[in-house]
Amino acid sequence: MVKKKACVFISGTGTNLRSIVKNSRDYNFPIKICLVISNNRKAKGILFAKKFSIPYFCLNTNRYKFEKIIFQKLIENKIDIICLAGFMKILSKKFIRNFKGKIINIHPSLLPKYKGLNTFQRVLKFKEKFTGCTVHYVDEKLDNGKIIIKRKVSINTKDNASTLKKKVQFEEYKAYPNAIRKIFQM
Ligand code: GRF
């Protein structure tokens, strides 16, 4: 099968990158990760790119320069889809418009609830019974685009931010690949 070309944007540990890469090695998975972009040279996730021999590019500069250079890289590499996976820089409206319908993100809550940062602390504070993760299209508003997939986890009284993060991330590793399969109708 002809796989779509994907680029994963990271800033940190890159465990979602790892899960997408592992899934993408399956012949039937619809995308191939052709490029990893990081705005943080020290991002641990870069080690996964190295381990799996995926070309990567790190660039820590202001948003204008970052997007100008990255835009060229994405065009040169004929990237069809951009997967944000723990990417902590907010992309400009212009950049998002240029790749309309081609950028997806994973967020650690059941959107539209708990947009933004510190989701685990906030769900605990509001004594939620459930939380989870959401894969969604990126539009011009933060954590707002059309939802592709959600996965739910239950919260028990012993949970703290760290146990919750582990539980949610475990679901993320299934949610992201499944969302990609769903987009390309596999
Ligand atoms: C994930 O929990 C994701 O939901 C959030 O950032 C975290 C990234 O983790 N957007 P990793 O870098 O994939 O390990």
Supply the mean pLDDT for the chain. 97
Q: How far apart, in Å, are the Cα atoms of 84 and each of 108, 121, 144, 156?
A: 13, 22, 14, 29
Would you place residue 186 in the very low, low, confident or very high pLDDT band (cuts 50, 70, 90)? low
| Nearest atom, ligand 1, residue 11 CA | 12
Instruction: Provide mean pLDDT across the span 122-130.
Output: 98
pLDDT digits (tens, 9 = 90+) for 64-114: 999 999 999 999 999 999 999 999 999 999 999 999 999 999 999 999 999
Nearest to 39 by CA among 12, 7, 75: 12
Q: Is 16 in the pocket of ligand 1 (CB under 6 A)?
A: yes
How close is the Cα of 40 to the center of ligand 1, in Å? 14
The DSSP symbol for 30 reads S
CA angle 75, 78, 80 (to 5 degrees): 105
How close is the Cα of 85 to the center of ligand 1, in Å? 6
Instruction: Provide mean pLDDT across the span 48-59.
Output: 97
CA distance 141 to 157: 33
Active site residue 136: no
CA distance 170 to 153: 10
Which pLDDT score, from 0 to 100, does residue 1 have? 81
For residue 103, give the 3-state DSSP assignment.
Answer: strand
pLDDT digits (tens, 9 = 90+) for 128-181: 999 999 999 999 999 999 999 999 999 999 999 999 999 999 999 999 999 999
Q: Is 132 in the pocket of ligand 1 (CB under 6 A)?
A: no
Q: Is 15 in the pocket of ligand 1 (CB under 6 A)?
A: yes
Beta strands at 81-84 and 31-38: parallel, antiparallel or unpaired: unpaired
Alpha helices, DSSP H, located in the chain: 15-24, 45-51, 63-76, 93-98, 119-125, 161-183
